[in-house]
Structure 1
């Protein structure tokens, strides 16, 4: 028996046969996982990304146009997702010099690897308003325009609130000199 085309499977899924999506997943999961692995450089992170990408594709399948390549559409979702993860990772690494231990030097890489503990350490002692700006900007990778919209602020006010928080963290962690990382982080 000949395998059904991807387009046929997608039409069935869009028609309400959600079980047909399993066949789509089987066709693409190894390729998308490999793509994510090479983009992110971590097998476990690639596995998580794969799950999120396949879910995003399923959730947004109503936007897929059958006159375009499904493979290209799925890879575009994967590309955007991986780039978002990499931006979030980069922002976190740029923030890490603010969290360097006063008594012992840690590289940003080492702190990022223990990011859950570092993230919790960072959030301790911050007000709710400070936490929400930090979470939306660094962990959720939101623009100042999005943050302003979410919090009911103008984008300039959201940027200023983040800048004050950055300076507070810098002072709290005893860093006197502005690093190259901080300057890059401030304007992104």
Structure 2
């Protein structure tokens, strides 16, 4: 409970410990509800991000795990409902008379085309921003979170992970490559981040565990972000 209070107080790096504690059990729960391993992996990441965004709404009148499970339950129900709608939509497309494009081409363009999901938040109202670029099952997340000015950056990694310090556009950054991408609890392959001490922000970039991206690809994204700011 003390870590939750620390995160609510602005020590957002402590959220890493919360993720490590609950990630696997929420993954198993989502897998049971969704019946699909890949969908469960994606759901876990979305749920933990959502929990971080709403953590100041958590009250210790119930256990944090119960609060998190309730969030996971509603998230998975929404996914199941959305999937049913997509299936219904695809069936409807096949029953229509196709002229120029085949049914498969229409479905691909409507449901599986490249999309950019970005959530821009007002810093006066929220302390976290998440942008996701998705293509098929692959994605890249770019997150920015406000940190306590006096906090130190703490990065937690597994023994099998490889880590190194980088300098990108004059900014010191960390890079971690997962050493166990075949583990169900691992949801990413590459992880890169840095702290903006002037604005008290923590930038993080990560991909999914089956991503074809390399360290240099994430460095290029980081360069673009740093240049834009």
- Closer/same/farther in 2, CA of residues 19 and 117 from structure 1, 3 Å limit: farther
Find the structure with the greater CA-based Rg.
1
CA contact (8 A) 1:99 1:122 kept: no
- Closer/same/farther in 2, CA of residues 81 and 122 from structure 1, 3 Å limit: closer
Of 94-103 and 72-81, deviating more is: 94-103
Q: TM-score, normalised by structure 1?
A: 0.52
- Structure-2 residue corresponding to 1:55: 49
Greater strand share, structure number: 2
- Structure-2 residue corresponding to 1:12: 6
Greater helix share, structure number: 1
- Structure-1 residue corresponding to 2:109: 120
Report whether the alignment pairs 1:65 with 2:59: yes
Once the two structures are TM-superposed, the CA of residue 96 in structure 1 deviates from its matched residue by 2.2
- For structure 2, the 5+ residue unaligned runs are 98-102, 113-229
- Closer/same/farther in 2, CA of residues 117 and 78 from structure 1, 3 Å limit: farther
Query: Number of residue pairs matched?
Result: 108
Q: How does 1:1-188 map to 2 (within 5 A)?
A: 7-100=1-94, 118-121=107-110
The 1-side partners of 2:68 and 2:3 are apart by 14
- Closer/same/farther in 2, CA of residues 121 and 15 from structure 1, 3 Å limit: closer
- Structure-1 residue corresponding to 2:144: none
**After TM superposition, where is structure 1 displaced by more than 3 Å over at least 4 residues in a row?**
none
- Closer/same/farther in 2, CA of residues 57 and 83 from structure 1, 3 Å limit: same
CA RMSD in angstroms, aligned pairs only: 2.8
**Could you give the per-residue CA deviations for residues 116-147 of structure 1, whole angstroms, max 9, x where no partner exists?**
97151579xxxxxxxxxxxxxxxxxxxxxxxx
Q: TM-score, normalised by structure 2?
A: 0.43
